[in-house]
Structure 1
Amino acid sequence: MDASSYPLRPPLRHRLPPVARSALVWCAIAAFPVVLVVTVAFLAGDDPRYHNAVQTIPRYALPVLTMALPAVLLRRVPLVTLTLILLAAATMTVTVHSPFTGHPSDLRYLELLAINLTVGYVAATRSRRLSVPVAVLTLCLEILVGYLNPGDANPVFQPEIPTLAMLATWMIGNSVRSRRQYADALRSQATAQAVTAERLRIARELHDMVAHSIGIIAIQAGMGSRVIQSRPAEAGAALRAIETTSRETLAGLRRVVGGLRQADRPDSGSREHPDPSDPGSRDPAPGLADLERLATVTAEAGVRVELCWRGDRRPLPADIELSAYRIVQEAVTNVVRHAGTADCRVVVDYREEELCVEIVDEGRGGPVAGTGFGITGMRERVALLHGEFRAEPVAEGGFRVAVRLPLPENVPVSAEPR
């Protein structure tokens, strides 16, 4: 088992029970005033002339603890956290770092760091309408506290240092917020595009499948109703063709609905491992090998389809097989419904780097209609596979649909025919 197969452990705060997390938060808030009083009392009695290792550790550890305790509220209420940190910083500055006490102001850097980090978090997680006033008000308070130490020459008490630090911190937090919003917008856009693409795919699949089947059923039903009295055998053949076409259409609809239900299950697995209990998953998607059956069904509807195979017939990727089959199906359906001819020719050419499909008839021809979904669906299928599509009337009469689909590099050129 590789490292990527191990489940990721959640953060410590998520592994603790909710009651334990709440208890820790309340304990930290309750300990904050106590630690602040102890810190001020210790620093007020601290004489820098007698520093040693024992005194240095609490001299810095206590202020760090004072600044860290309010951080337990940072994710929930950052403004309350900032208020507590400002209160602690102002208390320590006025009572300990004041020139009247004669103590150094090196801990002032720690206070500014804690304040600026909190403001940066506000800028990163809240809107500019809130973060800008918070940053300005906090900066004014820092400068005001600096003026309470007029005799201290340390640059940290001058207005320039807090101003530059606050500006840099707010800009970094605002940049993080902008990048997060941009990433969220990209994810939302990608999700919307995926939903639209899936909706169009389902629309194309249903149109190509149902339109062909309904067209065949309508023609067979009309023919059967005309000859049911005079030629019962032909009427029976028409009814059997209607039954076969209806069953195939029902199987295709079952496959589409099964695929949709499969995608809705979080534990359904990939398309390569469908759920065997799903009736729609047992019906494979049609491919170029099914063109013979399509030609037989179309011939029963009154249009003879001449299939011409060129090149080395070989297995192709499923998306190319399905798209090529649906394009031929839609083009042949248009011949049955609109061309007014009894013949058409389908040429499937397996080339080294592309698959070429051509459907030609000698019917009425005429310009391409712009309101139908058949031509649009074929063009969209080809565009998704980065191919070329042409649908145009032939000068000598009739109509021609030509498609070129590029093949992946790993598809073998020579293989046994399917």
Structure 2
Amino acid sequence: MTRTTAMAWAGGVLYLLMVGLLIGGANRASGTVHAVGAMLAVSLLVGVLRRMPLLALAMALFGSTAVVVGTPGSGQVNRAEGYQAQFLSYLAVDLVLGFIVATCTRRASIAAVAVSCAVQLLVMGGFSHGDAVTVNVVIALLTIAASCTVGLLSRERREHAVALRSQEVAEAVTAERLRIARELHDMVAHSIAIIAIQAGAGSQVIKTRPEEAGEALRAIEATSRETLSGLRRTLVALRQADLDAAASGQAPLAPSQGLADIERLAAATAEAGVRVDVHRTGAQRSLPADIDLSAYRIVQESLTNVVRHAGIGRCRVLIDYGDEELSVEVVDDGHGTAPNGSAHGFGIVGMRERAGLLRGHLSAGPRPEGGFRVAARLPLPEPVAVPAEAR
């Protein structure tokens, strides 16, 4: 038996002893004193109430009824007061009843209300006379109704809070799944596109030009290794329980990708047959990790679409480090859409979601002069002062 359980049972025993003391001193105090004492004594049943609410109700009913029956002058009617003082002890029972309605099942609550009403009405009918019977019964019913109403309101409020919490958890899970889907899509789609093109090129020249086939295989190997490394970072990050994992002895992870890796991304895209011209303007500086990674992913997905759908061997990437926002633009002179005229899967949707999460804006569509253009504007957290020399 745990200490808490022992204290709960001790409180129940003390409650019964207090009821016995109140009945034993019935001749030396008025009914009002005994009723108030019974209401204060019911606080000893808190431990029992939390573990066995129905047992606590039974004990409260027994104690309050014993006080009513044992109080001197119980059978006499005080027409001036209307509601006999000793019946105030049932207010403690009504408090317990309200807790049961708020926390227990509906079947248990209905049974508790029925038993409590029956006991109180029978006792009041037996120890009241004349007009006092009606007054006492009406007050008892109103008190029971009030306690049940408070209990129902408390139950509904708790259930509503649980429903809101469940909804928040579901929305958080959905948002996390979308984030993981974007990460995996942006990470894998580009690499798979390059691998597919290199594999196709290698299979065509493996007999006639084995040197070029070897270069294609080496490009496939390098791209595969980089993709596996990125997947490992993502999976390890998902498994981390908190941000203190590094302090617990785990090996440090490689830093996430950003705009500093655009040149390497351009080199990998060039091996797939699309030359990328990268132009940077503005004062280059370190950016917040989420903005840096999102900008990189937008460029990566745009280059993937160029490799897959543009049918052109060259494109341009423009990166502008502004004072208040970061601008990223990818432009090509190719077909502009997929051969079947459909959208590029979930890539553009993912890019828009990334920009929207950062309170930015992304536009993607064909250009009037031909080709396709993806432009994103990502606001920076706060304006960064640019020295006059840099301007």
TM > 0.5:
yes
Structure 2: where are the runs of 5+ without partners? none
Matched, 1:407 2:380: yes
- Identify which range, 81-90 or 366-375, moves more after superposition: 366-375
> What displacement does 1:275 show?
5.6
Q: What is the TM-score normalised by the length of structure 2? A: 0.86
Describe the SS at the equivalent of 1:74. helix
Distance 1:64 1:365, change over 3 A: closer
Percentage identity across paired residues of the two chains: 46
The aligned counterpart of 1:76 is: 51
Matched, 1:338 2:309: yes
In 1, the alpha carbon distance for the partners of 2:13 and 2:150 equals 32
Matched pairs, number: 383
Distance 1:124 1:306, change over 3 A: same
Distance 1:260 1:179, change over 3 A: same
Distance 1:60 1:115, change over 3 A: closer
- Identify which range, 175-184 or 142-151, moves more after superposition: 142-151
**1:350 corresponds to which letter in structure 2?**
Y
> What displacement does 1:315 show?
1.8
Contact 1:339 1:361 in 2 (8 A): yes
- Identify which range, 201-210 or 378-387, moves more after superposition: 378-387
The aligned counterpart of 1:119 is: 97
The aligned counterpart of 1:15 is: none
Describe the SS at the equivalent of 2:374. strand
Contact 2:309 2:337 in 1 (8 A): no
The aligned counterpart of 1:87 is: 62
Contact 2:358 2:379 in 1 (8 A): yes
Describe the SS at the equivalent of 1:395. coil
The aligned counterpart of 1:67 is: 42
Distance 1:326 1:278, change over 3 A: farther
In 2, the alpha carbon distance for the partners of 1:349 and 1:127 equals 63
The aligned counterpart of 1:269 is: 243
In 2, the alpha carbon distance for the partners of 1:63 and 1:186 equals 39
> What displacement does 1:47 show?
5.3
> What displacement does 1:277 show?
5.1
| Aligned positions of 1:362-377 closer than 5 A | 362-366=333-337, 369-370=342-343, 372-377=345-350
In 2, the alpha carbon distance for the partners of 1:186 and 1:48 equals 50
Distance 1:178 1:360, change over 3 A: same
Distance 1:48 1:225, change over 3 A: closer
The aligned counterpart of 1:164 is: 142
> What displacement does 1:344 show?
0.9
User: What is the RMSD computed on CA atoms of the aligned residues?
Assistant: 3.2
The aligned counterpart of 1:46 is: 28
Contact 1:331 1:401 in 2 (8 A): yes
Contact 1:357 1:404 in 2 (8 A): yes
Describe the SS at the equivalent of 2:281. strand
In 2, the alpha carbon distance for the partners of 1:247 and 1:392 equals 33
Matched, 1:201 2:179: yes
Structure 1 segments (4+ residues) deviating >6 Å: 101-104, 152-157
In 1, the alpha carbon distance for the partners of 2:322 and 2:199 equals 40
In 1, the alpha carbon distance for the partners of 2:330 and 2:143 equals 71
In 2, the alpha carbon distance for the partners of 1:309 and 1:36 equals 86
